[in-house]
Structure 1
């Protein structure tokens, strides 16, 4: 068996080497380098080439060009605040006194933008205004925009692109962890109510297409299983032209990355479902597998994560911090892009093989 396995490995290596030469001839050395190991990040066996944004964009397949964006309340190393009284945020008919800092501040900015006769705010302006309001309230967290593709942050901010004419669906999750001591929150249910009102009133979402999970005894419980199922369902239902809005308000955390993957700091970011103590956390790797990989082409997804340690909680490769210093999107330093490429290189390799066979 040892000789057989050795010969089989040799045959595989020869076939791979031949395929890699073909890919390099057609797509260039950067593409071949991305597939063969990417280098850096302890990938093992690959070159030491550091993938640039230009190389990444030039060679990534359609599977990694999906229209996915995420706005998080803070960076990976930061915590996100719970606001005890949202009256100062001037929300129309707020659902209770308490709320998450990101959700409340973002709604304050967006409602003011809707009423203004001036030109609509850009991504940069929205994030910087959110940051300014947070600072005025004594919070240090910095909002972060992430995406699968680089966004021109000078363009108009939108949760739902005007070009999308299909069905608008949403999954909205608020967890107050009632009875947990310490750990109980007070504003997450209100966040969901306030944001739900906004997407229905401003963006035309219909009640029948909005799934709400709350641990209030009156809605579907936001357990590990129920959250996963809700995410899987909304992705499977959506098709070209549709829009997905995801909103999570609750606890987030960091746990050691156990698969030696794409995390630049060695830790996974994770959501804490209501039953996290028994069922476990929902890691960023899980979110990528459930929300990103199976999403159909042509579907727009916008995710709002109002929780701690959420900067790269969907493992999206691009980021922009609303700190007043950054002026454009760049590859997310919280994501080890070389390992990200390696973990998705199966699709990349398959894509390029198909291109070769078609010519």
Structure 2
């Protein structure tokens, strides 16, 4: 049915909805090689690039240390590249060792291929583990849409042509590569990250302070070289290659107030450049104060399944995409598991990885959309004699109790991975989910944690055919709170507003539920940016979602 006027957009809004904003999908790959005889400090670079990317609203995935095997890197390129559409950006950042190998297909003038020095699952490195430039180029071009803009950033030795942009395989792509040095050179490590990465981030800081909010990849390269000359005076030649030209717009424009790590003055003088910092690169006392006050980071997992290979399909990846849009707009660091990726092993591994990045005062957010189920209680902690479970799948997309993640195991996974000083938020759009976080268990003692779920344990959650009732209600609630100029609200207030939207729009029989320790007064971490429109509020010619009842004027 047509959406009522209160939910329609005016022509100006409609134009802004139809004109798709380019999305930035990024991979950060960084290795310290601590289990080898040649350690580096590249995960510091990875963390610094993550901070920049989150501030820009990019969708970032990471591979650190033992995670960064050739199989994992190529698989993640395929997954992230597949999410990029026409006009979007695919950014690949690598910090680690780089090497030369004998040319295997005769395309190198110097007779040598370049390679990223990846590791095996034990953290050891050898040529058998490395990713050649030929294979890297094939991986990217076979995974990324030709209408997607590609940016490759390589802080490693022997990296001048590591993207192999001279290969015909790149024909039709807009692609640029900036690397720490030429093929015959080495890239320096400062002991707190790489010379190239630090120079790049200071260059972006400087461009932002000059009120340049739009610049090209070529301009960023030029400014990076200037910073290297002024700060490190290194012998490495920071290099650029591009097709068709370096005039491509730079996708990672730092937000207002961004400070490069090198510009954050530290009492410990953590980074000692080869030459004193020039005055333009120092910070004043006001800037220093803003550095000392750490802003909480939001680390989020979005897990969504459609079960298309089963007899019970849903439309939950639509929910996943909608939550991703919100999270990116909030500057959250988001990782995803969709469909066959969402096995119990992958979910618990990702909880461990993402949870491990959360510090004191940060937020860990877990969002799940899919089937939920009851199972016989296995440890006697359930009043109704039933555990709740997320209905995950095997690698073939099939689901059965053997694949599911019980509430007990989920709670153990989160609490064993996430720092007790981190605030935890769990959002579950699935059936039988009222106590799926198992917040009554002593294992949660000492945590500030809240769980909002689509229904009570004995109920089912509805799927509209374009996503779940709970998720749509939640996003409209956040849209409404934002339009009331409420830029700070609690998890309890979000729950109350979500229930109101469900009652008004869907009139569903499911009871959207909340549980919290110590109370639902925890601040909500995903405050929508100015201009945010919930999917249900984006008028569609196809009238994709038909509310059960007309929305009242207030909505």
Q: TM-score range by the shorter chain?
A: 0.3 to 0.5
Greater relative contact order (CA < 8 Å, ≥ 6 in sequence): 1
More helix by percentage: 1
